[in-house]
Amino acid sequence: MRLRGKRQFLLIFILMIFSLLSGCSDQKQTAQKDVIYYIQTNPASMLAQLKTGEIDAFVAWEPFNAQSVIEGNGRYLTQSGEIAPEHPCCILAITKTEADNELALALAWANVKAINFINNKNNREKVIKYAMDFTGKDQKSVVEAFNHTKYVSFPDFDQFNAFLENMSKNGTLVKTPQSLGYQDNQVFIKEFLDNKYVTRINTELNNDASWVPAAINGKLQVTLGYINQDLHHLPMYIAQQEGYYEAIGLKSAQNLQLKGFANGVAVMEAFKANELRASYLGGAPALLKRLNDNVPIYAIAGVNNEGSAIVAAKNSSVKSVKDLNGKTVAIPGLGSVQSYILDQAARQSNLRLQAK
């Protein structure tokens, strides 16, 4: 009988230690209840969940934000540009494994041409039509989405550095450029963002607007990735429709294969598995996997700045990011540009993100 009591006591003691360990942190978190809960889901489901009230807000890429606003279920709470002005969003990245200067130059050229096409006011109607075809959204949503997206041919170095620093701070980045053998962040970013192609293309195009780089070897098979229904990746679609890829010797269904992905993290998985030569994707996942998993890619061109937003339910009481305290917000995935934006927004309002 005495023996049994001792055993029982020991068991209870072990359980107490366990509950104490978890209990401490429990209290800590209930005390400082300043958290925004996040869930991970794809943008299409976000619209439905916002409508049913399952989530209070979401962060997505255009045109999903605009679609929600136009359909009358959501309203813009904050544009990503208000949280991190001129933050880089999508980039065109290429694998670093082979000597592929020709391919990099050609793809960057097609990208620059497409961005110039978009930014040319005369092409407005054509661009809107292309955008509707590419994203499958109606005209109103697309026009609204264009108001919040800036197409640029190269991302800003300093902004990328801010990306790097903030992602180290919030714990998404576990490796540093130093651990990969770089001298410091600046050296790493200079190498990661390779602007020599875009610089050359811009000088050539200034001299002669009809300049085309040498066509690439016809036997080279190129798989080019992009994210489904992401208006940021419109340059890819326009380059294809306007024949820019053909001009550099890439013919669809012959030596060019376009592949759509659900999000940037999925693109990086494909890069890791050697299934992609080049892809459009968000700067944050590219940076994340470049460092954390040492996936050998680098950016040869930019696509857009800003173009994400926090969208709240139309009739909710949420008036600012501060009001999101204790609410649930959907993001496309950890490590995406959108999760970075939400994290920054939360930090600026002295809130923290917590998984739900």
Residues binding other proteins (CB under 8 A): 1, 3-4, 7-8, 10-11, 18, 21-22, 24-26, 29, 35, 39-41, 52, 54, 170-175, 265, 268-269, 288-289, 291-293, 333-335, 352-356
Tell me whether residue 140 or residue 272 sits nearer to other proteins (CB atom). 272
Tell me whether residue 319 or residue 356 sits nearer to other proteins (CB atom). 356
Tell me whether residue 17 or residue 214 sits nearer to other proteins (CB atom). 17
Amino acid at 258: L
Tell me whether residue 35 or residue 103 sits nearer to other proteins (CB atom). 35
Tell me whether residue 128 or residue 266 sits nearer to other proteins (CB atom). 266
CB 59 within 8 A of CB 309: yes
Tell me whether residue 149 or residue 339 sits nearer to other proteins (CB atom). 339
Q: Annotate 126-192 with DSSP letters as a single string.
A: HHHHHHHHHH---HHHHHHHHTTEEE-SS--HHHHHHHHHHHHHTTS--S-GGGGT-SSHHHHHHHH
Q: Which residues pair with 50 in a beta bridge?
A: none
Please name the residue ranges forming H helices in 195-263.
Answer: 196-207, 234-241, 244-247
CB 149 within 8 A of CB 337: no
Of 311, 314, 346, 316, which Cα lies nearest the Cα of 46?
311
CB 259 within 8 A of CB 271: no
CB of 58 to other proteins, least distance (A): 13
- How far is CA 110 from each of CA 91, 99, 115, 116, 346, rounded to the nearest angstrom? 13, 19, 9, 10, 37
Q: How far apart are CA 17 and CA 92, in angstroms?
A: 51
Q: Which residues pair with 75 in a beta bridge?
A: 312
Q: How far apart are CA 334 and CA 356, in angstroms?
A: 13
Tell me whether residue 1 or residue 253 sits nearer to other proteins (CB atom). 1
